[in-house]
Amino acid sequence: MRIPKLLADIGGTNARFALETSPGVLSAVNILACAQYPSLEDAMRAYLQSDLARAAGADLVKNAGIAIANPINGDVVQMTNHHWRFSIETTRKQFQLDSLDVVNDFTALAMSLPRLNAQQLTQVGGQSVVAGSAIGLLGAGTGLGVSGLIPSENGWKPLHSEGGHVTFTPVNRREIAILEFAWQEFDHVSAERLLSGPGLKLIYRALAALHQQPADDIDAPEILQRGLNQECTICTEVLSCFCEMLGTMAGNLAVTLGARGGIYIGGGIVPRIGDYINHSGFRQRFEQKGRFTQYLSEIPVFVITEPYPAFIGLSALLEDAPSRIAA
């Protein structure tokens, strides 16, 4: 029997776990709410001791990999969008693991991209990828992740980026008004402040103020639902603004990297809105770069519809360089 590896994809909201029982084969996939556990170790223990995981061989695990929504600098990890803090080495010893590799979640997600097929993606405009060219990646969820892949003689090299924290740049008067509203609360308004789950709520409050209407106390899932169902004019406008802002951010990433290998969009928000992005202003804003409009019009954008892409990339990283991953 092959000893399974523990794989974990940790975001600010959810902790996803799985056991890789053979190369590329996942078992006992489970999603735990981060808020229900005081620490990462508590969530890991709850998963490994579950009947689902133990039936798939959790008691045998000796090697593990974690993709986490956070920069990795040294042994101690303090999450940006959640309160969890842990030592990689202490956690390894606590669970009696031979190896525990921790990488940024978008590094893992980036490494999944060459392994995804057409059934795991939805194309949003553009033409075909140019082989051997750079690939860009961004995704909105609890935060805004940014990464990419650069081709080299030894295969793809992932970018260890924190590009979600670049300064937000408005494109029209409505976005200027949203930015001015956000400035009332934040000295620095990053792209992540608006292109994220909390960002949807910030945009909603800003638009309500702009239209001099009362804002309901609702969070991102409710805003998305009301907007998609056209139950609330402001929520519908939020979706429009979000897709346009995301289009600008994706276009910026494409020209920055020369990403003729395509731009990929992950995270929890865009897959949830489904076909809406195709009918939004996303693609127009993606290409709205003056003299580089034609250049961008040829670059395809893909929405990742595979539910667990970070596991695919994390598996590849562990297979290529177990216990020697730089992040």
Task: Inform me whether the pLDDT recorded for 131 exceeds 50.
Answer: yes
Identify whether 137 is part of a domain: yes
Integer Cα distance of 176 and 170 in angstroms: 6
Structure pTM? 0.89
- 263 and 178 housed in the same domain: yes
94 with 132, same domain: the answer is no
Shared domain check, 60 and 16: yes
Give the per-residue pLDDT at 317. 87
pLDDT of residue 311: 95
The tokens describing 217, both together, are: 């106390």
Query: In this model, does residue 324 exceed pLDDT 50?
Result: no
Its domain, for residue 253, covers: 118-305
Separation in Å, CA 217 to CA 198, 205, 208, 223: 12, 9, 12, 10
Asked if 45 and 58 sit in the same domain, the reply is: yes
Please give the Cα distance from 293 to 193 (Å, whole number). Answer: 27
Cβ contact 306:177 at 8 Å: no
How far apart are alpha carbons 324 and 317 in whole angstroms? 9
Q: Does residue 103 sit in the same domain as residue 129?
A: no
> Which pLDDT does position 81 carry in this prediction?
80
* Shared domain check, 150 and 261: yes
C-alpha distances (whole Å) from 256 to each of 104, 230, 240, 295 are 21, 35, 24, 12
User: Rounded CA gap, 79 and 86, in Å?
Assistant: 9
Q: With 80 as the cut, is the pLDDT of residue 207 above it?
A: yes
Cβ distance 140 to 105 under 8 Å?
Answer: no
Which CATH number is 19's domain given?
Answer: 3.30.420.40
Condensed to tens digits (0 to 9), the pLDDT of residues 142-198 reads 899 999 999 998 889 999 888 999 999 999 999 999 999 999 999 999 999 999 999
- Residue 321's pLDDT is 57
Cα dihedral 95, 98, 102, 108 sign: negative
Q: Summarize pLDDT for 231-279 with one digit per residue, the tens.
A: 999 999 999 999 999 999 999 999 999 999 999 999 989 999 989 999 9
Within-domain flag for 325: no
* Short-list 263, 269, 260, CA closest to 248: 263
**Spatial CA neighbour of 264 closest among 304, 294, 217:** 304
149, 261 in Cβ contact below 8 A?
Answer: yes
Same domain, 136 and 90: no
* Domain-embedded: residue 53: yes
Residue 151 counted as domain residue: yes
List Cα–Cα distances, 283 to 96, 127, 204, 243, 247, in angstroms: 49, 13, 22, 9, 6
Q: Is residue 76 part of a domain?
A: yes
For 22, list phi and psi in degrees, rounded to 5: -160, 165
Residues 38 and 74 placed together within one structural domain of the fold? yes
Distance CA 228, CA 222 (A): 10
Q: How far is CA 290 from the centre of its chain?
A: 28
Does the residue 327 lie in any domain?
no
| 182/195 same-domain check | yes
User: How many CB atoms sit inside 10 A of residue 15's CB?
Assistant: 26
- Reference 64, options 34, 84, 82, 41; nearest CA is 41
**pLDDT band for position 327 (cuts 50, 70, 90):** very low
Number of domains forming the structure of the chain? 2
**Is 203 contained in some domain?**
yes
Least-confidence region, from 103-107, 110-114, 217-221: 103-107
Q: Given this model, what pLDDT does residue 154 score? A: 85
The mean of the pLDDT values for the chain is 94
Give me 193's structure tokens: 């402040």
- For residue 1, the model assigns a pLDDT of 55
Same domain, 69 and 136: no
For residue 244, being part of any structural domain is answered with yes
Which is nearest to 125 in space by CA: 243, 236, 257?
A: 243
> For position 206, which CATH number holds?
3.40.367.20
DSSP structure class, residue 141: S
Cα 250 from chain centre: 13
The answer to whether residues 315 and 300 belong to one domain is no
- Flag whether pLDDT at 2 surpasses 80: no
Instruction: Write out pLDDT tens, residues 58-92.
Output: 999 999 999 998 888 899 999 988 999 999 999 99
Q: Are 300 and 172 in contact (CB under 8 A)?
A: no
Same domain flag for 66 and 139: no
